[in-house]
Each structure stands twice: as structure tokens, then as C-alpha cells.
């Protein structure tokens, strides 16, 4: 068995102004991260089909693993309106004073599974944008690029 992963790479400057602003919102969301333990600050912006943008940031807790990733903070809030306002895209941004942030910061497996579940519930893909604030931006058409054997609902 072979799984081909398709990730597109763009220059930040080549993106439309609206997409740049969407990515910048994820960066701004990282400012509200609470990450005194890891010093890894993550922000996530969520684009809904009505063009509303939701935000989330990672929130750590002294009682590990009681914290929550930025993606899940934003997506759980967004899940309240899936029936009438599906999630189309998410953007993830990270910075750290302690670690080198990978250029292509892929959401953790737990967050990927949440994205997968939301895709199933709304019956449409969620595009994933990854950016570290530098020139290169990476995008995957859906969670299957990173979690090829994710749980999926059966068609009824």
C-alpha cells in the first residue's frame, strides 16, 4: 500500500490579500496563548462558509494534559454552528522562544482527528493552512493528507 501526500507550497506574498489576512489572524490569535510550560505559542483561525472567522489559541494547564491545542479551541467553538455554517478552512501559526518551529507545522494527531470528525459531520473537506510567519505557506486540501486512515462515517 502506498499513500501519496499532496501539500502545496505558496509564497505568502503571492496570496490574495484576504488569504494573507486570514493567516495573519492565526498569528494574532497566538498572542492569547497561555503556554508558560512549553513556550510554544499557537494560534488558529477558522473560516466558515459565511466568511465569519473564529479564533483559538493553545491553553496549557499545570495538570498536564488538561490543556488544549489552538486548533481544538477554535474548532470546538465553531462546531456549534456546523449545520448552518460549515468550516471551510483553518490556518495554524506557531512561534516559540524555546523550540525551532517547523516551517510546515502539522496539527497534532488529536487535532487532526477532530478536523476529520468535523469534515464527516458537515460532509465537506476542511482545507488546512500552515504558516510560521516566514515567506513559505503550506496547504493541504483536507485532513486525509496527514491522517490517511482516519475514522470516517459510513454513508447511510
Residues that are catalytic: 71
Which residue in the block uniquely carries the three cell numbers 499557537? 42
CB atoms within 10 A of CB 19: 18
Edge to edge, the sheet with strand 53-57 lists 8-11, 136-140, 127-131, 87-96, 40-48, 53-57
- Alpha carbon distance 50, 47 (integer Å): 8
- Alpha carbon distance 10, 2 (integer Å): 26
Amino acid at each position: 500500500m502506498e499513500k501519496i501526500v499532496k501539500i502545496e507550497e505558496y509564497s505568502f506574498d503571492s496570496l490574495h490579500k484576504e488569504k494573507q489576512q486570514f493567516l495573519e489572524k492565526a498569528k494574532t490569535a497566538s498572542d492569547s496563548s497561555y503556554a508558560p510550560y512549553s513556550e510554544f505559542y499557537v494560534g488558529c483561525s477558522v473560516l466558515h462558509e459565511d466568511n465569519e472567522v473564529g479564533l483559538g489559541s493553545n491553553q496549557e494547564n499545570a495538570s498536564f494534559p488538561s490543556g488544549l491545542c489552538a486548533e481544538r479551541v477554535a474548532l470546538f467553538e465553531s462546531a456549534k454552528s456546523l449545520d448552518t455554517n460549515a468550516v471551510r478552512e483553518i490556518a495554524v501559526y506557531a512561534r516559540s522562544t524555546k523550540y525551532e518551529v517547523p516551517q510546515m507545522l502539522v496539527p497534532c494527531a488529536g487535532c487532526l482527528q477532530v478536523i476529520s470528525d468535523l469534515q464527516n459531520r458537515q460532509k465537506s473537506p476542511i482545507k488546512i493552512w500552515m504558516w510560521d510567519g516566514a515567506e513559505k505557506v503550506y496547504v493541504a486540501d483536507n485532513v486525509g493528507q496527514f491522517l490517511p486512515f482516519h475514522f470516517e462515517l459510513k454513508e447511510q
